[in-house]
Amino acid sequence: NAGVTQTPKFQVLKTGQSMTLQCAQDMNHNSMYWYRQDPGMGLRLIYYSASEGTTDKGEVPNGYNVSRLNKREFSLRLESAAPSQTSVYFCASRTGGVGTQYFGPGTRLLVL
Amino acid sequence: GIQVEQSPPDLILQEGANSTLRCNFSDSVNNLQWFHQNPWGQLINLFYIPSGTKQNGRLSATTVATERYSLLYISSSQTTDSGVYFCAVALTNFGNEKLTFGTGTRLTIIP
């Protein structure tokens, strides 16, 4: 039982390049989330998916798109990366109703 | 949206000391979690505690939902307790939940 996994662990992009961050969970959770963490700050919600087939915007969605591929996988895409998107990205999942969110190890993204 | 304030922002203690971290929030919530982010950046779940008191070893937490605050207690601190402690809250409606994080308390334990 790996919990929440994220790939890649680290990525360097040039301004304007695109990339997709992958997230998968093996806990049969309904809800999945993408957050970003900037230096010295708490995490901020980018997008979330309350269930398979649904997605919704969080606090800071601009410049990102998401896909809930199936119940296990939730990807985050940067179409045209900008230096302001340099951050650590965390994926999380949660079972339905109320309960604990479980976080992946994070992806460190540097945009030059 | 919900505002979350954590105090103190920084705390430096000798190994063996006890500490209390506070989280104030601005609205009713039905999810409150405490996390420890270790020096390698990993987020570790400590407690899911929307109300009441829980204990896990040297750590315990209390949330008084009616007064909109939560406290995290760390007793007999060890150097491995160093890192940033985050409180996060949410009001969950129909399965939709948006956790709002505080800016954290950075704890440094000196040997």
Optimal mutation site among A4, A43, A109, interface B, most CBs of chain B within 10 A: A43
The pLDDT of residue B95: 61
- Count Cβ atoms within 10 A of the Cβ of residue B63 and give its class: 0-12 exposed, 13-18 middle, 19 or more buried: buried
Residue A2: pLDDT band (50, 70, 90) is confident
Nearest-Cα residue of chain A relative to residue B106: A40
Residue B94: pLDDT band (50, 70, 90) is low
Query: Which of B 84-103 lie inside 8 A of A, CB atoms?
Result: 86, 88, 92, 94-103
Q: How far apart are CA A52 and CA B42, in angstroms?
A: 26
Q: What is the pLDDT of residues B57-89, one digit of tens each?
A: 999 999 999 999 999 999 999 999 999 999 999
Closest CA to A107 of B41, B103, B96: B41
Residue A86 above 90 pLDDT? yes
CA of B110, closest CA in chain A: separation in Å?
A: 21
Q: How far apart are CA A24 and CA B43, in angstroms?
A: 17
Residue B98 above 90 pLDDT? no
CA of A67, closest CA in chain B: separation in Å?
A: 17
Q: How far apart are CA A100 and CA B35, in angstroms?
A: 11
